[in-house]
Amino acid sequence: MSDPSPLIAELPAGAIPGIALVVKVKRRTARMRACSEMDAKAKLCAGHLKRWFTAPVAVTTEFGAELYRCEKCHTIYLPHPEEQPRTGTLSW
Considering the complex, state which of residue 6 and residue 61 has its C-beta at the smaller distance from Zn ion: 6
Among 50, 56, 66, 73, binds Zn ion (CB under 5 A): 73
The contacts of residue 47 (CB under 8 Å, 6+ apart) are 34, 35, 37, 70, 71, 72, 73
Distance in angstroms (rounded) separating the CA atoms of residues 86 and 20: 30
Contact range with Zn ion by CB under 5 A, out of 13-21, 25-33, 67-75, 81-89: 67-75
Q: Are 39 and 1 in contact (CB under 8 A)?
A: no
Cβ neighbours around 92 below 10 Å, total: 9
Query: Shortest gap between Cβ of 11 and Zn ion (angstroms)?
Result: 15
Single out the residue of 11, 23, 32, 70 in contact with Zn ion (rule: CB under 5 A).
70
Instruction: Please give the residue ranges that form the binding site for Zn ion (CB under 5 A).
Output: 35, 37, 45, 47, 70, 72-73, 75
